[in-house]
Structure 1
Amino acid sequence: MPTSRTTCLFLFTGALGVFACDDTCPEVPVPLASIDATCGPTAVGTVPVVNGSFEALHDPLAGWSLRDASGTGVTRLAGLDGCAAIALTPADDRFAASAQLTQVVPAAAVRGQRVRLNAYVRAETTGGSRPGLAVHARAGERRRVVDGAAIRFKDGAWALRGVEFDVPRDADTIELAVHLGEAARVELDGVTLDRVGPACPGCDPPAPLGERELDNLLAYTRLLGHVRWFYPADQVEHGDWNHLALAGVQTVLAADSPAALADALERVFQPRAPLVRVAVGRPTLAPFARPTDATRALVWRHGDKSQRVDRDSLVGHVPEDISVPEPGVPHAVPLARGLVASMPYAVWAAASSLPLPGRSDPPLTKPPGFTPAAGDRLTRLAAIAVLGARLSQFSPHVARDRDAWEHVLRDSFARAAVARDRFELREVAWRLFAAIGDTPAQAHVDNDVELVHRLALRWTWLEDQVVVTAVDPARAPDLRVGDVVLALDGVPVELALRDVLEYAPGRTDARRMLWALSRLSRGQTDEPRALTVRRDDGEHTVAVATVPVRLAPAVRPGPKIRDLAPGLLHVDLSGLDPADLRAAAERIAAADAAILDTRGGVTRKIVELLVPPAPLPERHTIWPEGQHAWRDPDAAPTAPREPMALPSRLVVLTDAGAVHHTEPLLHALRTDHGARLVGSPTAGATAEVRAFKLPGGLVVDYTHGEPLAVGRDPFTPLAPDVAVTPTLAGLRAGRDEVLERALAELQPSDVPGTE
């Protein structure tokens, strides 16, 4: 007799991530032939899922739908419960990256609740994208995805996997999905959906901040930046700083007077930095005595890496005009509300130094089960505090205008306090980066459902209107290159762009528009969207499918390296594989002339093949807020390898998509190789970016420290030698007017129509 199906399914789906079984459950799947004929679809889990264990006798996938997975083989096999499981195999060697098995269930009963999707899985992966589980909430007539969560797995043996999700209050349906993830085989059993409890337990609702609370947060953020990265004692490396950010924000928000705020700040930071003092007015700056067991003094040294180092290792190795902090000597740190903190930037350390006994971070007053999430007001405020503290120390944009920075930070706190979710918190971060002019900065959401799909087209801003430049005919058959976009889902495109441009980062209008159009092409849906367009025969409303970002039409279709004329090569560097560039090295070197196309940006590996970056010594900082920084000439990196040989005659195509390493490439090609730049100005964003995670899960990339640039201002866009603005008429005629002008630069007498 088969084992008890009800008992086993309850055990392995109710364990919430940990497989458990009693003595009646088999160690391995039982043979398919022994499955009892009474096995059939039974609802398991607190939210009904149709055929969750795939026991429907005549259709193992009853209630489920396959998407982007035509030709999938479906095989019944014995499950761990003594009944059936299924195996899914692709028509080819692996599933498509977008292939998935889905089921939609009503959301009415679980709105505002936390649910958990569980499934027992086994997969044969191929090295591509991994299989996973996902749950999405949809709303409205267009089935718009309003939020979601996902996990990935690569288990070769049966394992129970689960993902939790807070169902939004406006959700109409919940979509359960098994992403097949380029696997060669996926086996499934026991898919259940369970109600865990209320959504975001312990989360505080949105509420505006008063002026006193804003002042308190500014004071806390400034001191956090100093203590976290410039108080060098051992205590700073113990504990969870994100937890401290939450507890610290909660503590200082309650301070109703300057004296109470001073006391709150000391209570927050002294467990990590026991020599920090906060006072109303100017504090006493008497040096702290050297402990009797002190063996050395420590300071922070921030460069390519951040580390605490022995102070003696710096003395005599820094420029003469830069002092090294003295151990135990406090320095004043002005805060808000008339407060001044004091702290040393070098501290005495014993041979073994641990957190002070009896000192611990202030408690976080939240109910059991609370997890920091961007749906929580306190978590959002802590996220801005952590972001602001780091940027205060390491952002070159903040260093350029610290007076404006306080207003930007105050506005960011005010917006975060009334934001509703992680998407609105991301918009707050984008606004902050836009306000300080950090062009390459980004903010990402874990398990993002907004930005992973985009319209199956490309478009640009041309002649003061949005114009389609590339189309996927299979997914948008009624759309044409050269169509002028008037509305998206019935919203005039000018209004939609105006809203996005408010938080679009960039130092030029062209760069901000480029960013805004990219953002506008994406949205909280994977369903087709309606575009109203204008062409010569009038206005039309057409359906355009949305696709994963990587499936969007190519910027410039066709071969990446091609002959335009005898001895003249066009090399499209945007999206070019470095291996293909290396393989074409002799062909490029033998050419009489070449047009290098960088429109849209170039990867660092491509740049290093053509013009390796100039060896610059590492930059170091031992004082807060970027002051007294220097470059150590003894720390110069190893000289780069020899670059590829290039033709003597070069023209380089560029536009506002040139950021990061592309701009140094353009500068070097023009300066060292005599190349002429044709197109439009670059973005003015030569910078190294660093990423870190904020409380609540938001991940940000920001410009860190002084950008590496030689012979020019890294924040000033490069102007082309020949400015070219494409036209709508040229686009509709299938012409690349920038490339045509580049050809004219190289052979003006031989190119028809260029005299």
Structure 2
Amino acid sequence: MPTSRTIRLFLFTGALGVFACDDTCPEVPVPLASIDATCGPTAIGTVPVVNGSFEALQDPLAGWSLRDAPGTQVSRLAGLDGCAAIALAPAGERFAPTAQLTQVVPAAAVRGQRVRLNAYVRAEASGGSRPGLAVHARVGERQRVVDGAAIRIKDATWALRGVEFDVPRDADTIELAVQLGEAARVELDGVTLDRVGPACPGCDPPASLDERELDNLLAYTRLLGHVRWFYPADQVEHGDWNRLALAGVQTALAADSPVALADALERAFQPRAPLVRVAVGQPPAAPFARPTDATRALVWRHGDNSERVDRDSLAGHVPEDISVPEPGVPHAIPLTRGLVASMPYAVWAAASSLPLPGRSDPPLAKPPGFTPAAGDRLTRLAAIAMLGARLSQFSPYVTRDHNAWEHVLRDSFARAAVARDRFELREVVWRLFAVLGDTPAQVHIDNDVELAHRLALRWTWLEDQVVVTAVDPARAPDLRVGDIVLALDGVPVDLALRDVLAYTPGRTDERRMLWALARLTCGQTDEPRALTVRRDDGEHTVAVATVPARIEPALRPGPKIRDLAPGLLYVDLWELAPADLRAAAERLAAADAAILDTRGTLRRKLVELLVPPAPLPERHAIWPEGQHAWSDPDAVPTAPPEPMKLPSRLVVLTDAGAIHYTEPMLHALRTDHGARLVGSPTAGATADLRTFKLPGGLVVYYTHGEPFAEGRDPFTPLAPDIAVTPTIAGIRAGRDEVLERALAELQTSEFPRSE
């Protein structure tokens, strides 16, 4: 016999279609006085969540834990699931970035399964990070996070939100989290965890590639780069190219001969580029006829903004020594295995709107409901194909050495084929950038659980050892500055570094070691980690707490802006807020001399206050692979904004952390202000970074195009005027030897002095 509550809830959900609601769901007013012990279930979902409807009378958060949210105010309101929902409000204006509401459930029943975390959520954002839903798999006594998934909540309306997650086979528990994300208020109801089915349905297992398959993938990738970004017809701007790449890779892999591969490539591309031809030997080179109703021709122009433009409109913007593609004229594209493709880089407008009769996108041989995931071999290969196609056209590192690029791409395909998951795929892409030398490149997963926490310390590589340079005494009371690190969680630090350095990008050894050490501080657990260290009295194993990776520990002592002597101002730019630098503008202008400390990651807005960026000439390309790139000769640069006034006697502390927009600033300070650079070489990585998402969820940042750097090579590190390498003895004595050398430089008579 159904209870009155069951009937009431059935009618309620049936009338509103809540179970089908995947968009905004209105709140139904339910008198709060009607809430009683039987109003809502105590455990809901196919994987029981305790008090998921927040109906418990005595404690609305029974079964849940608040983390990093002291003083949170909890109130009830009318609900969607059952009778009540809850509202969480911070003690102050907004929650801390790490604040969250969590519940841990056993994972045994859903190992190797796909689950979905659902919740009705409404959030009032107040700046900063956004609230979200997350699910994490934890393993072992220390509850190490080994995998996870998350979504962010982007609006303030009631809606049923959900995130799917494949539970690892070794998971012990699943942590459900409502991330409060610096919100001013979060309202919740109906948190459920349900089985969806087997993990990664339709995913192909890892398997190595033979030489024929590698050749086929290289041919597909090369042609993909030309078609995706230089075939200027309407069809290329429609459709999901990441998914099209899966079908294209699948088609290319199956080809067992050059003739079959030529046919496979034409079938893969003709629905999007009907004038592409592929043949063994030379394909037809005769121009395609102009349609009788054609009135104009289209061509791609890639620059700050990529767009298809009228070919005739380029006439006044292209230097005389650069040709503009002729419409309908095919150009040869050598592939592999004796294949040559051809396609026009300009097409008649009428032809661009004519689909190829009888052709459609190649079918994807996957079961219904398949979702591309990096646990799938085909998805990983498609990710490398999409990455390779883009870098082939727009990476300055590839442009400089096409022969080496083929070997890099072949190796990346081979590694991706046998990778087991998205974490190993991420390492494959990191390794690709490391071999290319793209120092500022970044590769991330939608949920970088392996990088979620960092040790509350700073360390560096000195005298062939890892040396602790700064400690947070509250989080690592037994660690000392100057300790030599021997092992991390029982793993010898030299072995751990060797593994990380294998996929570390950087143009200098100093930069690569800086990156590797930063990566080594990151981990999967929010529990303390064990460091084995050596000091004068022997070896010790100490516990070091971790902090969320997005929270930079304050480990450089002293005020960010302070007087070191009368008329001498020190400005630590690391993690300095732009507003604080603006507030100190008069102090900086009035100083006789200044030391700017740029060691560490600097905020772009901060850098631009000191040296406003000069407007860069926009670069254009209408031919593939960076051929005939040019800057608009008629462009009139606008004057940059007025920079901050700086003392005439200026010393800048620098190291391999100087990257991106910091290097142009250092160059300008040295050439235009006569500043002396003290420390170690910069990274040599001035870059215009672009980002895109690969099949399977990886997000990639790469150096796009040749960066403009007047008077210097943007890929060569800036050498300091005075090279200074700290020593272990100096660190143990509490000395900043780079700063000391800068102070000494300001005392020399050769250094220019203001009148």
Query: 8 Å contact 1:4–1:82 — kept in the other structure?
Result: no
The amino acid that maps onto 2:509 is D
C-alpha deviations, 1:574-632, integer Å up to 9, x for none?
A: 22222322332222122111111111143332333222334442111111111111222
Query: 8 Å contact 2:373–2:696 — kept in the other structure?
Result: yes
1:259 and 2:259 are equivalent in the alignment:
yes
CA distance in 2, matches of 1:320, 1:550: 50
SS at match of 1:634: coil
CA distance in 2, matches of 1:20, 1:650: 57
Mean Cα deviation higher: 329-338 or 479-488: 479-488
Q: 1:636-647 residue pairs with structure 2 within 5 A?
A: 636-647=636-647
SS at match of 1:298: strand
Query: 8 Å contact 1:603–1:661 — kept in the other structure?
Result: no
Query: 8 Å contact 1:594–1:651 — kept in the other structure?
Result: yes
Q: 1:607-686 residue pairs with structure 2 within 5 A?
A: 607-686=607-686
CA shift in 2, pair 1:116/1:595, >3 Å: same
1:282 and 2:286 are equivalent in the alignment:
no
C-alpha deviations, 1:629-661, integer Å up to 9, x for none?
A: 122221243221222221111111110001111
Where structure 2 has 5 or more consecutive residues not aligned to the other structure, the ranges are: 751-755
C-alpha deviations, 1:709-733, integer Å up to 9, x for none?
A: 0111111111111000011121122
CA distance in 1, matches of 2:601, 2:716: 17
1:232 and 2:236 are equivalent in the alignment:
no
Query: 8 Å contact 2:88–2:185 — kept in the other structure?
Result: yes
CA shift in 2, pair 1:210/1:542, >3 Å: same
The amino acid that maps onto 2:520 is L
1:743 and 2:746 are equivalent in the alignment:
no
Mean Cα deviation higher: 550-559 or 327-336: 550-559
CA distance in 1, matches of 2:166, 2:687: 37
The amino acid that maps onto 1:7 is F
Taking structure 2 as the reference length, what is the TM-score of the superposition? 0.94
CA distance in 2, matches of 1:535, 1:221: 53
Query: 8 Å contact 1:115–1:193 — kept in the other structure?
Result: yes
CA distance in 2, matches of 1:619, 1:395: 14
Tell me the residue number matched to 1:202. 202
Query: 8 Å contact 2:37–2:57 — kept in the other structure?
Result: no
Q: Displacement, 1:16? A: 6.4
C-alpha deviations, 1:323-357, integer Å up to 9, x for none?
A: 11122211111101110111111222229825344
Tell me the residue number matched to 1:573. 573
CA distance in 1, matches of 2:282, 2:662: 48
Query: 8 Å contact 1:484–1:533 — kept in the other structure?
Result: yes
CA shift in 2, pair 1:210/1:13, >3 Å: farther
Q: Displacement, 1:253? A: 0.4
The amino acid that maps onto 2:279 is A
Q: 1:576-587 residue pairs with structure 2 within 5 A?
A: 576-587=576-587
CA shift in 2, pair 1:465/1:268, >3 Å: same
Tell me the residue number matched to 1:398. 398
C-alpha deviations, 1:221-255, integer Å up to 9, x for none?
A: 00001111111122221222112111100100000
Q: Which residue, 19, 22, 30 being the options, matches 1:18?
A: 22
CA shift in 2, pair 1:121/1:423, >3 Å: same
C-alpha deviations, 1:109-154, integer Å up to 9, x for none?
A: 1111111112223334333333221110011232111111112226
Mean Cα deviation higher: 176-185 or 559-568: 176-185
CA shift in 2, pair 1:368/1:9, >3 Å: farther
CA shift in 2, pair 1:186/1:612, >3 Å: closer
Query: 8 Å contact 1:466–1:485 — kept in the other structure?
Result: yes
Query: 8 Å contact 1:9–1:44 — kept in the other structure?
Result: no
1:7 and 2:10 are equivalent in the alignment:
yes
SS at match of 1:659: coil
CA distance in 2, matches of 1:195, 1:268: 36
Q: Displacement, 1:483? A: 1.8
SS at match of 2:183: coil
C-alpha deviations, 1:665-700, integer Å up to 9, x for none?
A: 111111122111100001111111111111111110
The amino acid that maps onto 2:627 is Q
CA distance in 1, matches of 2:655, 2:746: 19
Tell me the residue number matched to 1:242. 242
Query: 8 Å contact 2:135–2:149 — kept in the other structure?
Result: yes
CA distance in 2, matches of 1:283, 1:19: 51
CA distance in 2, matches of 1:123, 1:406: 49
CA distance in 2, matches of 1:558, 1:4: 65
Q: Displacement, 1:561? A: 1.8
CA distance in 1, matches of 2:667, 2:23: 58
Query: 8 Å contact 1:299–1:309 — kept in the other structure?
Result: yes
Query: 8 Å contact 2:80–2:190 — kept in the other structure?
Result: no
Mean Cα deviation higher: 171-180 or 155-164: 155-164
CA shift in 2, pair 1:557/1:20, >3 Å: closer
Query: 8 Å contact 1:238–1:355 — kept in the other structure?
Result: no
The amino acid that maps onto 2:510 is A
Query: 8 Å contact 1:13–1:119 — kept in the other structure?
Result: no
CA distance in 2, matches of 1:40, 1:317: 69
Identity, in percent, stands at 86
Q: Displacement, 1:556? A: 2.5
Tell me the residue number matched to 1:464. 464
CA distance in 1, matches of 2:316, 2:49: 70
Q: Displacement, 1:275? A: 1.3
Q: Displacement, 1:739? A: 0.6
Tell me the residue number matched to 1:444. 444
C-alpha deviations, 1:310-331, integer Å up to 9, x for none?
A: 2222235322222111222111
CA shift in 2, pair 1:617/1:228, >3 Å: same
Tell me the residue number matched to 1:753. none
The amino acid that maps onto 1:213 is E
The amino acid that maps onto 1:102 is T
Q: Displacement, 1:9? A: 9.2
Q: Displacement, 1:286? A: 1.6
Tell me the residue number matched to 2:215. 215
Where structure 1 has 5 or more consecutive residues not aligned to the other structure, the ranges are: 751-755
Mean Cα deviation higher: 533-542 or 103-112: 533-542
CA shift in 2, pair 1:177/1:325, >3 Å: same
1:530 and 2:534 are equivalent in the alignment:
no
Mean Cα deviation higher: 430-439 or 345-354: 345-354
Tell me the residue number matched to 1:428. 428
CA shift in 2, pair 1:155/1:238, >3 Å: closer
CA shift in 2, pair 1:610/1:187, >3 Å: closer
Tell me the residue number matched to 2:753. none
Mean Cα deviation higher: 289-298 or 152-161: 152-161
Q: 1:311-390 residue pairs with structure 2 within 5 A?
A: 311-350=311-350, 353-390=353-390
Q: Displacement, 1:54? A: 2.8
The amino acid that maps onto 2:22 is V
Tell me the residue number matched to 1:113. 113
Mean Cα deviation higher: 126-135 or 337-346: 126-135
Q: Displacement, 1:443? A: 0.6
Mean Cα deviation higher: 157-166 or 662-671: 157-166
Query: 8 Å contact 2:393–2:626 — kept in the other structure?
Result: yes
CA distance in 1, matches of 2:380, 2:327: 36
Q: Displacement, 1:19? A: 7.6
SS at match of 1:295: coil
CA distance in 2, matches of 1:316, 1:153: 47
SS at match of 2:43: coil
Tell me the residue number matched to 2:419. 419
SS at match of 2:653: strand
Query: 8 Å contact 1:456–1:546 — kept in the other structure?
Result: yes
1:488 and 2:491 are equivalent in the alignment:
no
1:136 and 2:136 are equivalent in the alignment:
yes
Q: Displacement, 1:748? A: 4.5
Q: Displacement, 1:17? A: 5.2
Mean Cα deviation higher: 287-296 or 649-658: 287-296
Tell me the residue number matched to 2:63. 63
Mean Cα deviation higher: 217-226 or 458-467: 458-467
Mean Cα deviation higher: 271-280 or 51-60: 51-60
Query: 8 Å contact 1:4–1:81 — kept in the other structure?
Result: no
Tell me the residue number matched to 1:46. 46
Query: 8 Å contact 1:13–1:118 — kept in the other structure?
Result: no
Q: 1:62-101 residue pairs with structure 2 within 5 A?
A: 62-101=62-101
Query: 8 Å contact 1:462–1:726 — kept in the other structure?
Result: yes
Query: 8 Å contact 1:572–1:597 — kept in the other structure?
Result: yes
1:723 and 2:717 are equivalent in the alignment:
no
SS at match of 1:350: helix
